[in-house]
């Protein structure tokens, strides 16, 4: 599947006109265990704070010193076992306490922290209008508005917090400064998305934490501020770094997780892919199993203009994980 015709037009229209209404297809996102994090560097180990799984995206041609790439096979096995255990734990709790049924639709409150060196745009002080457009991009993408499967999720901006602190700028992945920043600023419970924006270290475009049963102060998404709609990050300035990283926050792996063998990204309807795809390589096919590489999927590494979809299986996996980890 190649670059979607008129995708740029549809994406721009979505930024201008999208609302918080969720275009939900419940048949596509039933609450069932799924059958089944953003870097553009060669596959390697995921470097992260010891108590949290994270993943990152690197600009094409960049070389992240920390190499925060796809998870190892061992980390995936651990995460999948934990998801199964968390689902069982939730089921027992609901049965014993008469708790509410699993959610079928979810509105996620979003707290945005704009980290800046000073009051200038060059120093990280992006306008709030870019943040508003980013939320619109998330709502359109997760509603299936650019052509992919609709998911259960919509996003509601609750706060934009501008923070001037040169010690946190740029944001360095895995650093004590990142931990200090998040420990000081994070708001809300497991269901609140904290989005940290700023200049990032090591050519990274963004990174995110996966959900856990116990809330960590590190929980959230970090994104390059100039990757937001209207930013200066050429080829990566339509807001889909945010879309991709929120996918990790909701428990999606990269489409190329595990390469051509094993369980891959633990989603059955994303074709296997040997390695990340860059730019928009129409017709790319790196595995012998059925299907071309999913280069238009939000969880690959292609240009923002090439990405436009989640699959029904990804939608189901995200909702399953929400009910296991983040639902009240």
Which of the residues are catalytic?
Answer: 245
Quote the CA–CA distance of 216 and 190 in Å, as a whole number.
Answer: 9
Listed residue (190, 72, 148) closest to 313, CA to CA: 148
Pick from 291, 259, 263: nearest CA to 275 = 259
Tokens representing 68 are 């925060």
Rounded-to-integer distance, Cα 238 and Cα 13, Å: 12
Tokens at 143, concatenated: 């509603």
Task: Fill in the DSSP letter of residue 171.
Answer: B
Instruction: Count the Cβ atoms, other than its own, within 10 Å of residue 305.
Output: 18
Distance CA 57, CA 73 (A): 19
CA pair distance 197, 79, nearest whole angstrom: 27
Residue in 324, 20, 327 with CA at minimum distance from that of residue 143: 20
Instruction: Copy the structure tokens of residue 323.
Output: 């009910």
- The 8-class DSSP code of residue 101 comes to P
Dist CA 298 CA 164 (whole Å): 31
Of the chain, the end-to-end C-alpha distance in Å amounts to 38
Q: Comparing C-alpha atoms, which of 321, 324, 309 is closest to residue 150?
A: 309
């Amino acid at each position: 599947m190649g670059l979607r015709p008129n995708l740029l037009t549809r994406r721009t229209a979505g930024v201008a006109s999208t609302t918080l209404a969720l275009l939900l297809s419940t048949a596509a996102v039933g609450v069932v265990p799924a059958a089944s994090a953003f870097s553009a560097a060669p596959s390697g180990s995921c470097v992260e704070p010891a108590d949290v799984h994270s993943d990152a995206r690197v600009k094409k041609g960049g070389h992240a010193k920390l190499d925060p790439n796809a998870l190892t096979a061992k980390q995936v096995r651990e995460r999948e076992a934990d998801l199964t255990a968390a689902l069982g734990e939730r089921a027992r709790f609901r049965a014993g306490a008469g708790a509410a049924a699993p959610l079928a639709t979810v509105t996620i409150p979003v707290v945005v922290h704009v980290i800046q060196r000073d009051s200038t745009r060059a120093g990280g002080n992006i306008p709030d209008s870019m943040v508003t457009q980013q939320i619109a991009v998330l709502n359109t993408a997760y509603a299936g508005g650019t052509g992919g499967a609709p998911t259960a999720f919509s996003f509601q901006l609750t706060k934009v917090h501008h923070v001037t602190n040169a010690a946190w700028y740029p944001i360095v992945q895995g650093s004590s400064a990142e931990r200090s920043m998040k420990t000081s600023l994070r708001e809300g419970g497991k269901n609140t998305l904290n989005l940290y924006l700023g200049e990032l270290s090591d050519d990274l475009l963004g990174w995110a934490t996966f959900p856990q049963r116990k809330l960590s102060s590190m929980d959230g998404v970090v994104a390059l501020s100039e990757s937001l709609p209207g930013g200066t990050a050429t080829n990566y300035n339509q807001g889909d770094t945010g879309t991709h990283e929120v996918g990790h926050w909701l428990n999606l792996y990269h489409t190329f997780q595990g390469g051509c063998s094993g369980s891959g990204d633990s989603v059955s309807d994303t074709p296997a892919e040997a390695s990340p795809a860059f730019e928009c390589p129409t017709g790319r096919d790196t595995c012998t199993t059925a299907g071309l590489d999913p280069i238009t999927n939000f969880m690959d590494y292609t240009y923002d203009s090439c990405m436009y979809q989640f699959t029904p299986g990804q939608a189901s996996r995200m909702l399953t994980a929400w009910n296991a980890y983040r639902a009240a």
